[in-house]
């Protein structure tokens, strides 16, 4: 098992280095391999179960064939099956500033308001989710919970303010007893992460609204 964990960490580092060098396809390959070797690695809680539907869709006619081909090429460098996407060019000790810079660079390429290729919106969302994971140094070290239910985070708990979160097993209450300072600190972090996610979704919706693509902003 230790051997698998070591191999997984090596694959994760290769993937992140590939992101930094601008090779998202190679990055995704090794990040996915790392997740298979060790499901407890960061990014596992952000799985995006979506098959590629690009081949069944056509590009917007207003962009012309040349523009569409370029956009589709960018979109192909997206997450094939996991949320650990090509959004953050980060090593294990990377700063938030490094992650943010890499995220901005890639998100501009796949933003659905600028990129009309099929699958652009889903790619952008996956990139955003991966950025949330990789930019959080604590979650990269030891992910305790997930805001969404996905294996192995299958046991639901609720903070004092009503925010649901999911943990790996029932031993959670033994490690973080109700009413303890440890539990209060963790729930505070859950609530901050929840608000951060809402704020990011809101910014995304407001930007799309300004471009005239949507009218309502349910996350704002």
Would you kindly state where each structural domain of the chain is located, as residue ranges?
144-220
User: Which of the residue ranges 42-46, 66-70, 118-122, 181-185 has the most confident prediction, judged by mean pLDDT?
Assistant: 181-185
Cβ proximity of 157 and 189 under 8 Å: no
pLDDT confidence of residue 65 = 46
Q: pLDDT tens digit string along 191-219? A: 999 999 888 888 888 888 888 888 888 87
To the nearest 10 degrees (0 to 180), the angle between helices 64-76 and 120-134 is 30
Q: pLDDT tens digit string along 52-69? A: 433 444 444 444 444 445
**Calpha distance 14→8 (Å, rounded):** 10
Residue 106's contacts (CB-CB under 8 Å, 6 or more residues apart) are: 24, 86, 87, 127
Lowest mean pLDDT among 18-22, 85-89, 109-113, 138-142: 85-89
Strand extents, DSSP E, the chain? 145-146, 155-158, 164-167
pLDDT confidence of residue 80 = 41
Q: Distances from the Cα of 44 to the Cαs of 71, 83, 129, in angstroms?
A: 28, 7, 11
User: What three-state secondary structure class fits 166?
Assistant: strand
Cβ proximity of 142 and 169 under 8 Å: no
- Placement of tokens 């308001």 in the chain: 113
pLDDT confidence of residue 60 = 43
Lowest mean pLDDT among 27-36, 139-148, 175-184: 139-148
Cβ proximity of 143 and 45 under 8 Å: yes
Please tell me the pTM assigned to this model.
Answer: 0.36
pLDDT confidence of residue 10 = 84
Cβ proximity of 30 and 12 under 8 Å: yes
Q: Which of 42, 147, 146 is closest to 94 using CA atoms?
A: 42
189 confidence band (pLDDT: 50, 70, 90):
very high
């Amino acid at each position: 098992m230790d051997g698998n964990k070591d191999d997984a960490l090596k694959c994760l580092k290769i993937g992140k280095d590939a992101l930094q060098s601008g090779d998202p396809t190679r990055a995704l390959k090794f990040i996915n391999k790392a997740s298979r070797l060790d499901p407890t690695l960061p990014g596992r809680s952000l799985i995006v179960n979506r098959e590629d539907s690009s081949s069944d869709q056509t590009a917007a006619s207003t962009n012309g064939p040349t523009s569409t081909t370029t956009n589709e090429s960018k979109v192909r460098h997206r997450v094939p099956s996991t949320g650990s996407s090509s959004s953050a060019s980060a090593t294990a000790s990377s700063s938030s500033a490094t992650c943010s810079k890499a995220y901005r660079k890639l998100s501009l390429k796949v933003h659905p308001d600028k990129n009309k290729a099929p699958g652009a919106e889903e790619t952008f969302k996956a990139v955003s989710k991966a950025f949330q994971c990789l930019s959080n140094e604590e979650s990269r070290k030891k992910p305790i919970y997930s805001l969404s239910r996905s294996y192995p985070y299958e046991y639901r708990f609720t903070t004092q303010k009503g925010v649901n979160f999911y943990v790996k097993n029932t031993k959670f209450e033994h490690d973080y007893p109700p009413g303890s300072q440890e539990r209060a600190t963790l729930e505070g972090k859950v609530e901050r992460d929840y608000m951060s996610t809402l704020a990011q979704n809101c910014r995304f919706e407001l930007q799309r609204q300004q471009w005239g693509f949507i009218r309502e902003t349910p996350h704002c």
